[in-house]
Structure 1
Amino acid sequence: MLLQKFKIKSMSLLTFNLLLAIWLAAVLNVPFYERMQSLTPHTGIKSSLFIAASVGVLVAAYTFLFQILNWKWTAKPIAIALVFIGGFASYAVSSLGVLITPDQIQNLMQTDISEAKDTWSWHLVVWTLGMTVLPIIAILMVKFKPEPILRQIVKKGIASVVSIAIVCSLLFVFYVDFAAIFRGNRDLKGMISPQNMIASFISYYKKKAPKENLPLVTYGTDAHRVINTSKPTQPKLMVLVVGETARAESFSLNGYTKNTNPELSKQNVISFAQVSSCGTATAVSVPCMFSGMPRKDYDERLASHREGLLDIAQRAGYKVTWIDNNSGCKGTCDRVHKFEIPAPLKQKWCDAEGECKDEVLVDSLKSYLASIPAEDKTPQLIVLHQMGSHGPAYYKRSTEQFQPFKPMCSTNAIQGCSRDELLNSYDNSIVYTDHVLNQVIQTIKDVPNYQTGFWYLSDHGESTGESGMYLHGAPYAIAPIQQTHVPMIMWFSPAWQQHNATEVSCLQQQKQALRSQDNLFPTLLSMLEIKTQVIDDKNDMLKQCATNPDGKA
């Protein structure tokens, strides 16, 4: 009744389609045109004409599309859906510099409620009201002029011809400019809303969506431990920490000017300075690093139903345990023991919404180790999955005791913070991670009856405003180094070093060598004295020193 009372002046379907095309093509895509302007060599009037032509092409293309899709009985539902989708896609592009791709849709589909809440902000609320809610209300208030169906068809035909003519004419006049820009910047389509969201959803469901009931593919079935019976040693206990959203350039261990590693710098750790990730998002990198497939050959469909690193270690006799403080293991730990964090620890480290500080992993590790019977000699592989520096709420990823850098960006609407505030919040999350990792090392230092080792490797990095980009998930081919350059750190107990001196020395030699997450699968299995034909010696870091003394593969 309220909408009926305030109905605006009636309009023809042709006018409605044109206005909708202008809203979607021009209003929602300002960042796209800004990027186009930055890529054109023209200046002044030529630059303005090129941007006007870009707007004209999109408006005309959408107008042509709507002549096919929008009829009196379909126009409003389609318009509402496109405005809704386009509004949120435009927010991601314009406010966070995020390119909408199938990988980003995969991230969205695998995000839990806690992570989703971290993206909510007053900036998003205001944007939603202005760019989504109000336009939808306006659409609902529209009243179409009654027109005979034949006249509608004639007008649609004329509008279609004119739209195609405009698109072809503008593309012909500016062909060289459009061809040069789009051939060299294929990522641009990820900035055009709402087609970016729609096309990426379709691509995700065609290529990336998990399939049900696929048979498990066994892998590394010949895996076995090589035990030197002539020289008995203590069993090995390795703690692998999977980091979250940590970038190598923010670690003072790697030369960062701010002291973000005050505790680890006092440990005898090996920090590898030139390590790249398999992907730019958790949903890609975590399954990839455990799969045994190098990045260039990675098949995520196959990885989703094939055994991986943890299965092979378990087959070879290791007790494999996954302890999670993130949104799950993305299928990598489905067939191994998952340690349930005790309720008292959740009460100690988690907030009312169930989001926990990473020190819950340290206490959970202590609890798990305490549960191992003294007479148990089973070798152990324990994986801790951090919350790390997950954005955009970086201020929540550290405690007050580990926030040396001020002022901070104390909101998840990071685009409204200054550059210094944002970096301080992110760097404080690294300081807290430094503390957590040091506590893990301190914990396993005192474990009796085991040779203990520690390996930390972040899943991907993070953009904090460099080149206008925030967060992560950019297409790998054009991703900034901040999203792909990740920290990797190892530590070994005196007992481990004593019995594996040559291997530790070999790893020390590779601190500045180019390495990647491809190295995790073969190197960790070799460290754990597991033999299998699926180990690729080219990526096994322990095999590099025999032929390459400088540690370069």
Structure 2
Amino acid sequence: MKSPHTDLPRSSISLSVYIKNGFRTKRSTSSFIIIAALLNAILYNWPLLSFSINNLDGLTLNGLHTIFTVFVVIYLETALALYLLFLISRRLGKNLCVILALANSLAVYFVVTYNVILGTSMMGNVFNTKFSEASPFLSGKMFIYFVVLGMIPAWLIIRTSVLKTPRLRLFLHLILTLFISVTWVWFSGSTWLWVDKHAKQLGGITMPWSYVGNSIRFQIQKDEENVEQTPLPNATFRSNKKTVVVLVIGESARAEDFSLYGYQRQTNPLLSNSDVITLKNATSCATYTTASVKCILSYTNTSHLFGKNFEPLPSYLQRQGIDVFWRSHNWGEPPLKIASYINAKDLEKNCEGDECNYDGVLLSHLAEQIKASKKQKIFVVLHQSGSHGPTYYLKYPKAFEVFKPVCRSVELSNCTHQELVNAYDNTILYNDHFLDQLRTILKGLDTASAFLYVSDHGESLGEDGIYLHGTPYSIAPKQQYTIPFLVWMSQDFIKQQHISVDKLKARAKTTQDNVFHSVMGAFDMRSPIYNKDLDIFAKAKTP
């Protein structure tokens, strides 16, 4: 009997059978690995191609050789990894390919949409972001990326039967791939100077190695931080005078959008007409929250002290007999041993007014809590939600939407630059109101008091096509680490500490490293770890 497909071209017959079988296909293990590695290089690494083209001196023969080498290396390292996985288990290898297809699609979306680098710092952002902060990133464009680059390839992988191949043959293929890899690298030495120069950028957009490798690195760092905290040396107090110190940890605030730092827009109308002191040339330790907050609360940079994890400032002060209150509208702080930690959800229960869903909730009944303390020395930390993107327009009450029109899209590149800046500047305007309210509260205590405001890091608003924060520090734009650092002191505090306001204003440079020792100085604390050179108040004493 004549086949119904006899008169059809062979390619049509194959496609017809392929569709009839529900897109099922069979592949040898080596064939599957080669196709998977090639598709990974092509489907998910075109942002890397775009970066390479933009950073080479035109499409010269040498430039094309460099691009080709980069892609060959991506293919070969992916193939090597897959050979190793399939040597262990076909099921493991296939399932991991499905997971990576889905993860790659989301990673490519963020790289393309926000021009981010998926380095260790960015992966730290990912793992420390709660759903309430992540949900604004959801968009139709993300869904399209997830379906086209994620779900469809994953489904095709699932429908592919990987035939059993002798392990010896797979091992020989692995050796051959390794030999080709080493040979290609050896004969492409002329390209490695360019690769080395752009290593951080390339390493942060190569799929899936960017987020896989840097996730592992971040977890290793996290495990080191989870080592039991080492207590710091006990302190003594040179005086027992009543003192209240408030540390406000801002979020994603960059100095260049503060009129206090010379910005042409009036984003600080209240603070500009107050006795708040602006410290010049302030910088952050990192470009993401967890690392920056750890730095702010540490007595020294412990990155070079492997396995050491010293207690943070609030825990240290609590242990020395100071009343410590932490109020949080954010997260990312290290483990704390303090008596009072209150998050925004709990504060909202007794909050009244229009600001209870914003950072204003942190000030709710703050004066009452301070006055109820029986201690002579009180330390308060207010951890803001601040100017965290991409939904800047949700970070302030409607009354503070002064600069218009504003960006209301999570795909920031879809907004004009001015709309994006308008939305961001409104968050700074609201922060101005917040800090002025705090100043009023402290003045009403009628005791020696001060506040330090320091942002955890800055923010990119599309400069050079980069958005948000978390770019590796060594290549981060200045907007991500140049931060505001403000100080306010009551007259009683100034007299008690013998502060010269003019000396404090004249400081040439300040960093987050100054916070720990300045707080110690404000409380007249002394211990072997106290560093007078890092105490901004000690350096501003009158003769």
**If the TM-score is normalised by the length of the shorter chain, which range does it land in?**
0.7 to 0.9
For residues 118 and 404 of structure 1, what CA distance do their matches in structure 2 show? Answer: 22
- In structure 2, how many angstroms separate the alpha carbons of the residues matched to 1:272 and 1:169? 55
Pick one of 408, 414, 423 that aligns with 2:406: 408
1:488 is displaced (CA, Å) by 0.4
Q: Which residue of 2 aligns with 1:15?
A: 31
Q: How many residues align?
A: 522
Q: Give the Cα separation in 2 of the matches to 1:330 and 1:235.
A: 28
CA distance 1:57–1:216, change in 2 (3 Å): closer
* Amino acid corresponding to residue 82 of structure 2 in structure 1: F
1:436 aligns with 434
Aligned equivalents of 1:90, 1:409: Cα separation in 2: 23
Structure 1 vs Structure 2: percent identity of aligned residues?
Answer: 27
Matching residue of 2:361: 360
Secondary structure, counterpart of 1:256 in structure 2: coil
Q: Which residue number in structure 1 is paired with residue 212 of structure 2?
A: 198
User: Residue 88 in 1 paired to residue 91 in 2?
Assistant: no
1:322 correspondence with 2:335: no
- Give the alignment partner of residue 249 of structure 1, picking from 256, 261, 269: 256
Say if 1:390 and 1:298 are closer, same or farther in 2 by CA, change over 3 A. farther
Q: 1:492 aligns with which of 489, 492, 510?
A: 489
After TM superposition, give the deviation of residue 321 of structure 1 in Å. 1.1
Residues 226 and 529, structure 1, Cα contact 8 Å, conserved in 2 = yes
Contact 2:43 2:149 in 1 (8 A): no
Shift of the alpha carbon at 1:307?
Answer: 2.3
Indicate if the aligned counterparts of 2:521 and 2:538 stay in contact, CA closer than 8 A.
Answer: no
Distance (Å, rounded) in 2 between the aligned partners of 1:441 and 1:300: 40
**Of residues 44, 63, 82 in structure 1, which corresponds to 2:79?**
63
In the alignment, is residue 277 of structure 1 matched against residue 284 of structure 2?
yes
Which residue is equivalent to 2:340? 337
Pair 302,62 (structure 1): closer, same or farther in 2 beyond 3 Å? same
Output the amino acid matched with 2:510: R
* Structure 2: runs of 5+ lacking an equivalent: 1-18
**Contact between 1:14 and 1:156, CA under 8 Å: does it hold in 2?**
no
CA deviations 1:252-280 (Å, max 9, x no partner) are 11011222111111111111120111111
The Cα shift of 1:237 comes to 1.5
- The alignment yields a C-alpha RMSD, in angstroms, of 3.0
Structure 1: give runs of 5+ residues left out of the alignment: 229-233
Q: SS state of the match for residue 452, structure 1?
A: strand
Give the structure 2 partner of residue 208 of structure 1.
Answer: 222
Distance 2:22 2:222 in 1: 45
- CA deviation profile, 1:9-32 (whole Å, cap 9, x unmatched): 444433322221122112211222
SS in 2 for 1:191: coil
User: Distance in 2 between the 1:211 and 1:312 partners?
Assistant: 17
Give the Å deviation of 1:457: 0.6
> Following superposition of structure 1 onto structure 2, how do residues 303-322 of structure 1 map, counting pairs within 5 Å?
303=309, 306-322=310-326
What do residues 417-444 of structure 1 show as CA deviations (whole Å, max 9, x unaligned)? Answer: 2222222211111111111111111221
Q: What pairs with 1:61-140 in structure 2 (closer than 5 Å)?
A: 61-70=77-86, 72-140=90-158
Query: In the superposition, relative to structure 1, how do residues 28 and 264 fare at CA in structure 2: closer, same or farther (>3 Å)?
Result: same
Question: What CA distance in whole angstroms lies between the structure 1 residues aligned with 2:144 and 2:412?
Answer: 15
Match in the other structure for 1:483 = 480
- Deviation larger for 35-44 or 248-257: 35-44
Post-superposition Cα deviations, 1:440-471, rounded to whole Å, max 9, x if no partner, equal 112212123x1121210111111222223222
Q: Select which of 451, 454, 457 maps to 2:451.
A: 454
| Per-residue deviation, 1:378 | 2.0
Give the direction of change, closer, same or farther, for the CA distance of 1:342–1:46 in structure 2 (3 Å limit): closer
Instruction: Give the SS at the match of 2:281.
Output: strand
**Aligned partner (choices 272, 276, 295) of residue 265 of structure 1:** 272
Q: Distance in 2 between matches of 1:425 and 1:398?
A: 9
Q: Shift in Å at residue 88 of structure 1?
A: 2.6
* Distance of 1:349 and 1:327 partners within structure 2: 23
Quote how far apart the aligned CAs of 1:172 are: 4.3
TM-score (norm 1): 0.85
CA offsets per residue over residues 51-75 of structure 1, 9 Å max, x none? 2332233223323433343375444
How far apart are 1:339 and its partner, in Å? Answer: 3.9
TM score, norm. by length of structure 2: 0.87
Contact 1:311-1:336 at 8 Å conserved across structures: no
SS at match of 1:208: helix
Between the aligned partners of 1:543 and 1:298, the Cα distance in structure 2 is 27
Pair 1:220 & 2:221 matched: no
Q: Tell me, yes or no, if the aligned pair for 1:388 and 1:397 is still in contact at 8 Å.
A: yes
**1:95-130 residue CA offsets vs partner (Å, 9 max, x unmatched):** 222222333333333322222223322222221111
Secondary structure, counterpart of 2:45 in structure 1? helix
Q: Which residue of 2 aligns with 1:472?
A: 469
Using the TM superposition, give the Cα deviation of residue 367 of structure 1 relative to its aligned residue in structure 2, in angstroms: 4.3
CA distance in 2, matches of 1:431, 1:343: 22
Partner deviation per Cα, 1:199-220 (whole Å, 9 max, x = no partner): 12222333322676x5442113
The answer on 1:235 being equivalent to 2:246 is: no
1:379 to partner: Cα distance = 2.4
1:167-199 Cα deviation digits (max 9, x unpaired)? 455434542222333255344212211112221
Please give the residue correspondences for 1:13-52 in structure 2 after superposition, counting only pairs within 5 Å: 13-52=29-68
Cα 1:155–1:256, aligned 2, differ >3 Å: closer, same or farther?
A: same
1:98 match: secondary structure: coil
SS at match of 1:51: helix
What secondary structure is seen at the aligned counterpart in 2 of 1:278? coil
Please give the alpha-carbon distance, in whole angstroms, between the structure 2 residues aligned to 1:61 and 1:216: 39
Distance 1:540 1:497, change over 3 A: closer
Name the CA distance, whole Å, in 1 between partners of 2:375 and 2:246.
Answer: 16
With over 3 angstroms needed to count, the CA separation of the structure-2 counterparts of 1:312 and 1:16, relative to structure 1, is closer
Q: In the aligned structure 2, how far is the partner of 1:395 from the partner of 1:388?
A: 11
Once residues 171 and 304 of structure 2 are traced to their aligned partners in structure 1, the CA distance between those partners, rounded to angstroms, is 47
Judge which range, 258-267 or 62-71, deviates more.
62-71
Task: Please give the alpha-carbon distance, in whole angstroms, between the structure 2 residues aligned to 1:254 and 1:543.
Answer: 24
- Correspondence for 1:231: none
State the AA in 1 paired with 2:529.
Answer: V
**3-state DSSP of counterpart to 2:44:** helix
Determine if contact 1:63/1:160 at 8 Å carries over to the other structure: no
Counterpart secondary structure, 1:240: strand
* Offset of residue 283 of structure 1: 0.8
Alignment check: 8 A CA contact 1:243 1:459 kept: yes
Secondary structure, counterpart of 2:47 in structure 1 = helix
Q: 1:444 to 1:174 in 2, by over 3 A?
A: same
Are the equivalent residues in 2 in contact too, given 1:506–1:542 (CA < 8 A)? no
The aligned amino acid for 1:181 is V
Q: Residue 124 and residue 17 in structure 1: after superposition, are their counterparts in 2 closer, same or farther (change >3 A)? A: same
Question: Structure 2 vs 1, CA of residues 61 and 338 (structure 1 numbering), >3 Å: closer, same or farther?
Answer: closer
